[in-house]
Amino acid sequence: MRIETSRTVETDPVEDYAFNDSAASMTPDWYDVDQPLRSAVAHLASCSSKFNWVGVYVLNGSTLELGPYIGAPTEHTRIEVGVGVCGTAVARDEDMNVPDVTATDNYLACSLETKSELVVLIRSQDRRIVGQIDIDSHEHAAFGPEEERLVRDVAEALGERWLEEPAADRG
């Protein structure tokens, strides 16, 4: 399946990683085997007008590296574990749903318009954290149980196909 979106998917700086399509049971219709992360981002961005910035960060050692994203360019292309909402999710080993980012001390502003943020961890088959999906919204408290479920389903589909060694490390 090709990506159909009116919004451009940027990739900076991490390219799509290697994925193992045969490891997964059911392939979602949004999933593009040639560009899994881009297809996930494009799919999520098309799901809700409240999703104003959608991106994937890949965990490389103790650093989150920005992969494909849709939305305003961000200076936060590399985030250390423990820093910001993104790094805190990894440090705490849990997803983060922040209804009001202005009430959060440890927040890295991507855009002044952002009011709420959802970070869902991507776990490989052995349950290691390999990355995360980060979504910002210009609406306050944009992420309810339905949105969480949607994003977790996408994170799970990516995680179960994630190979041990990322393609980017192989050159």
Among 40, 79, 122, 150, binds ligand SME (CB under 6 A): 79
Sign of CA dihedral 145, 126, 16, 110: positive
Shortest Cβ 84–ligand SME spacing (Å): 3
Decide if residue 108 touches ligand SME (CB under 6 A): yes
- Type of residue found at 101: V
Q: How many residues bind ligand SME (CB under 6 A)?
A: 14
Shortest Cβ 75–ligand SME spacing (Å): 9
Shortest Cβ 22–ligand SME spacing (Å): 32
State the Cα–Cα distance between residues 91 and 94, nearest whole angstrom.
8
Helices (H) then strands (E): counts for the chain: 3, 7
Task: Please give the full DSSP string across 8-19, using - where no structure is assigned.
Answer: PPEE-SPPPPPB
Decide if residue 129 touches ligand SME (CB under 6 A): no
Q: Which stretch binds ligand SME (CB under 6 A): 18-26, 82-90, 140-148, 156-164?
A: 82-90
Q: Which residues, 15 to 74, sit near ligand SME by CB under 6 A?
A: 53, 55, 74
Nearer to ligand SME, 1 or 141 (CB): 141
Distances from the Cα of 149 to the Cα of 25, 78, 144, 145, angstroms: 19, 26, 9, 6
Beta strands, E only, 71-169: 78-80, 96-98, 116-123, 129-137
The 86-105 contact track toward ligand SME, x by CB under 6 A, reads: x-------------------
Give the residue among 62, 43, 55, 50 at the shortest CA–CA distance from 12. 55
Q: Which residues bind ligand SME (CB under 6 A)?
A: 53, 55, 74, 76, 79, 84-86, 107-108, 110, 117, 134, 136
